Amino acid sequence: MRVYALPSLSLRFAPVWRRNLLVWRKLAGASVLGNLADPLIYVLGLGYGLGSMLPQVGGVPYIAFLAAGMVCSSTMNSATFEAMYSAFSRMHVQHTWEAIMMAPLDLDDVVLAELVWAASKSALSGATILAVVWILGLSHSFLSLWVLALVPLVGLAFGALALVTTALARSYDFFTYYFTLVITPMTLLCGVFFPLEKLPPAFQVAAELLPLTHAVALSRPLLLGEVPGNIAVHVLVLLAYAAAGFYAASVLFRRRLLK
Amino acid sequence: MAVLAVSRLRKSYGGEEVVAGVSFSIAAGECFGLLGPNGAGKTTTLRLCLGLIEPDGGSIELMQRPVPGEARPARLRVGVVPQMDNLDPDFTVGENLLVYGRYFKIPERSIRERIPQLLEFAGLAARAASRIQTLSGGMKRRLTLARALINDPDVIFMDEPTTGLDPQARHLIWERLRQLLAQGKTIVLTTHFMEEAERLCARLAIMDRGRFITEGSPRDLIAQHIEPHVVEVHGDEVMSWADGEASILATRIERSGDTAFCYAVDPAPLLASLSRRTLRYLHRPADLEDVFLKLTGRELRD
């Protein structure tokens, strides 16, 4: 049955991606500010405030430790917001998807465009945090440039997972569950605010299964000037979440919209 | 040559057959109307023909391509005006057309050249930079029509193109549709305005409960299904009159509330009878609405 077919990966998604870019450009100022404000307050508030009471964490000042995690968590948040609230608006409220599918484009093209768009926008968000990290002098290594390659992958993984939620959502309220049950625990358990090793062993095992853990396991060494260990494993886990999430979302959107 | 050929099309939702074995064919340059009460299956039929939803059975060929299999390339030559406006609220009038043109892979320059002509056609020439929220319902519908023409389509699907518009806006849409027909475009429209169908469609089908119950030109349908004269009578004693004298004089009487619709080949005896009474009445030629109500019944459909 067509519902379970693999998503067709076609460049047809490009004009839909451009549509979202054109909307974003109209609001870019506010959008970039919003992307920056939230993580900056965390990095500065917790980094300096809490950091002043702490000895070094993981061998570096707490603010540097935290900033290296925030690059990933703010990328995650940005991709999640875009693929849930904004995509849901376009699908369900504005009927933008319906208009696009009356043109010679398929649902698969639209879903791919949403995923790539969420990844693009969140990568920009992650890159902005990276720029702040440099400006604040929290990273001195050229290795940190690899973060620019990492954040799109993080965006793909979390964008895909958020699209699954969007495909199941009946209203905006539904997204609260996803934040409470998935995003918040992940933010707290995956080594953004403190080292994973400080958690009880059972939690550590659970955290190993979550994508954010693997994103942070790459971003932190890179920002602190070290080559991460087990790069292939971390990248593969993120790719697997992106692929599985994208496939599940494609099937669920087809069931929802092509019936 | 058939622009659209549909055979034994079926679609069910939750065990209920919304489209229950529909077959029809539309030739190039024709204006075909799909009439029916709410819930008759008109919109579902259109969506199936465009390949937007999967049929449960039957076959569809749009622009000589099987649907839904090759619906996407078939839609390159198709324009669609949906029932609900789905213009992009984040964009201006001009941007809506530009972005939509890109979905068809039309070169950027061609789209930009085409936009002023389309806005002119839609009576929105001065509105290129307006935001969508500032447009009236009629303007939005005209813009949706302009958007449907961005790819210079051979066939245009319109789902209730004038629902919710005031008479001025409606007449402007009709005039534009006639221009498109004169250019040789094919139009497939759904409507529940008989007036609209009678004015525009060379051929139409009346649909109810997922089936076509009749098909033909508006004039043929009236001639085939209904007596040529209607006398609508209302007033307090209308029913006793309808049950008595009128029942012999009229060929057929339909009752709805306190109105009797008397259908007759020769209205003279009915009018003579009414002239001796105080009942209020209206004598008019039978129209498509009479056919529609006869075939689909007078009870409400919600």
Which residue reads 């469609």 in tokens? B201
Q: Is the pLDDT of residue A205 over 60?
A: yes
Task: Report how far Cα A34 is from the mean position of its chain's Cα atoms.
Answer: 15
Same domain (yes/no): B258, B194: no
Q: Specify the pLDDT at position B58.
A: 97
Interface probe for A, chosen from B63, B76, B99, B140 (most Cβ of A below 10 Å), is: B99
Residue B248 CB burial class (10 angstroms; 0-12, 13-18, ≥19): exposed
Phi, psi of B267, deg, nearest 5: -85, -10
> The whole model's pTM is what?
0.93
Q: Nearest by CB to A18, from B89, B102, B104: name it.
A: B102
Q: Is residue B94 part of a domain?
A: yes
Q: Specify the pLDDT at position B285.
A: 93
What is the residue type of B80? V
Q: State the total domains in chain B.
A: 2
Q: Is residue B215 part of a domain?
A: no
Which region, left, alpha or beta, applies to residue B190 given φ > 0 means left and ψ of -120 to 50 means alpha? beta
- CA separation for the pair B83, B161 (Å, rounded): 7
Q: Nearest by CB to B54, from A2, A95, A100: name it.
A: A2
Contact (CB<8Å) A259/B52: no
Q: Is residue B3 part of a domain?
A: no
Q: Is the pLDDT of residue A7 over 90?
A: yes
C-alpha distance from residue B198 to each of A20, B62, B192, B225 (Å): 42, 25, 11, 15
Q: Is the pLDDT of residue B101 over 80?
A: yes
Same domain (yes/no): B201, B231: no
**Residue B296 · residue B37 · CB < 8 Å:** yes
Q: Is residue B232 part of a domain?
A: yes
Q: Specify the pLDDT at position B302.
A: 67
| pLDDT tier, B147 (very low <50, low <70, confident <90, very high otherwise) | very high
Q: Nearest by CB to A19, from B82, B89, B99: name it.
A: B99
**Section B124-151 average pLDDT:** 95
Contact (CB<8Å) B90/A23: yes
**Section A207-214 average pLDDT:** 96
Q: Specify the pLDDT at position B56.
A: 95
Which of B155, B170, B205 is the C-terminal boundary of a domain?
Answer: B205
**Section B275-300 average pLDDT:** 89
- CA separation for the pair A101, B212 (Å, rounded): 27
- CA separation for the pair A256, A120 (Å, rounded): 26
Same domain (yes/no): B79, B179: yes
Q: Specify the pLDDT at position B65.
A: 97
What is the residue type of B299? E
Contact (CB<8Å) A94/B54: no
Q: Specify the pLDDT at position A2.
A: 79
Q: Is residue B16 part of a domain?
A: no
**Section A11-33 average pLDDT:** 91
Same domain (yes/no): B32, B138: yes
Same domain (yes/no): B38, B184: yes
Contact (CB<8Å) B89/A94: yes
3-class DSSP state for residue B300? coil
**Which residues of chain B are at the A interface, by a Cβ-Cβ cutoff of 8 Å?**
13, 50, 52-54, 72-73, 75-76, 80, 82, 84, 86-91, 95, 99-100, 102-105, 151
Query: What ipTM did this prediction achieve?
Result: 0.92
| pLDDT tier, A110 (very low <50, low <70, confident <90, very high otherwise) | very high
Helix (H) or strand (E) holding B132: none
**Residue A140 · residue A71 · CB < 8 Å:** no
Strands B65-67 and B57-62: antiparallel
Lowest mean pLDDT among A176-190, B18-32, B277-291: B277-291
Task: Report how far Cα A185 is from the mean position of its chain's Cα atoms.
Answer: 15
Q: Is the pLDDT of residue A1 over 70?
A: no
Same domain (yes/no): B153, B193: yes
Q: What does the mean pLDDT of chain B come to?
A: 93
**Section A113-130 average pLDDT:** 95
Q: HEC states along chain A?
A: CHHHCCCCCCHHHHHHHHHHHHHHHHCHHHHHHHHHHHHHHHHHHHHHHHHHHCCCECCECHHHHHHHHHHHHHHHHHHHHHHHHHHHHHHHHCCHHHHHHHCCCCHHHHHHHHHHHHHHHHHHHHHHHHHHHHHCCCCCCHHHHHHHHHHHHHHHHHHHHHHHHHHHCCCCCHHHHHHHHHHHHHHHHCCCCCCHHHCCHHHHHHHHCCHHHHHHHHHHHHHCCCCCCCHHHHHHHHHHHHHHHHHHHHHHHHHHHCC
Q: Is the pLDDT of residue A107 over 80?
A: yes
Which region, left, alpha or beta, applies to residue B21 given φ > 0 means left and ψ of -120 to 50 means alpha? left
Q: Is residue B79 part of a domain?
A: yes
Percent of chain B scored above 70 by pLDDT? Answer: 100
- CA separation for the pair B245, B236 (Å, rounded): 16
Q: Is the pLDDT of residue B297 over 90?
A: no
Residue (of A249, A35, A34) closest to A162 by Cα position: A249
Q: Specify the pLDDT at position B1.
A: 78
CATH code for the domain in which residue B257 is found: 3.30.70
Q: Nearest by CB to B52, from A16, A96, A101: name it.
A: A101
Contact (CB<8Å) A100/B103: yes
Same domain (yes/no): B117, B87: yes
Residue (of A154, A99, A202) closest to B132 by Cα position: A99
Same domain (yes/no): B197, B238: no
Look up the domain containing B262 and give its range. Answer: 227-285
**Section A128-134 average pLDDT:** 92
Which of B148, B172, B205 is the C-terminal boundary of a domain?
Answer: B205
Same domain (yes/no): B141, B188: yes
Q: Is residue B254 part of a domain?
A: yes
- CA separation for the pair B140, B122 (Å, rounded): 10
Which of B170, B205, B240 is the C-terminal boundary of a domain?
Answer: B205
Same domain (yes/no): B275, B232: yes
Q: Which residues pair with B6 in a beta bridge?
A: B24, B60
ω before B267 within 30° of 0 (cis)? Answer: no
Residue A166 CB burial class (10 angstroms; 0-12, 13-18, ≥19): buried
**Residue B296 · residue B231 · CB < 8 Å:** no
Q: What does the mean pLDDT of chain A come to?
A: 94
Same domain (yes/no): B97, B156: yes
pLDDT tens-digit series, residues A47-62: 888 888 888 888 899 9
Q: Specify the pLDDT at position B57.
A: 96
Q: Is residue B142 part of a domain?
A: yes
Interface probe for B, chosen from A3, A101, A102 (most Cβ of B below 10 Å), is: A102
CATH code for the domain in which residue B181 is found: 3.40.50.300
Q: Which residue on chain B is closest to A96 by alpha carbon? A: B86
Contact (CB<8Å) B72/A18: no
C-alpha triplet B74, B78, B84: angle, nearest 5°: 120
Q: Nearest by CB to A103, from B54, B75, B84: name it.
A: B75
pLDDT tens-digit series, residues A140-189: 899 999 999 999 999 999 999 999 999 999 999 999 999 999 999 999 99
The full length of chain A comes to 259
What is the residue type of A39? P
Task: Report how far Cα A109 is from the mean position of its chain's Cα atoms.
Answer: 21
**Residue B204 · residue B246 · CB < 8 Å:** no
How many interchain CB pairs under 8 A, A with B?
Answer: 61
Same domain (yes/no): B164, B266: no
**Residue B173 · residue B203 · CB < 8 Å:** no
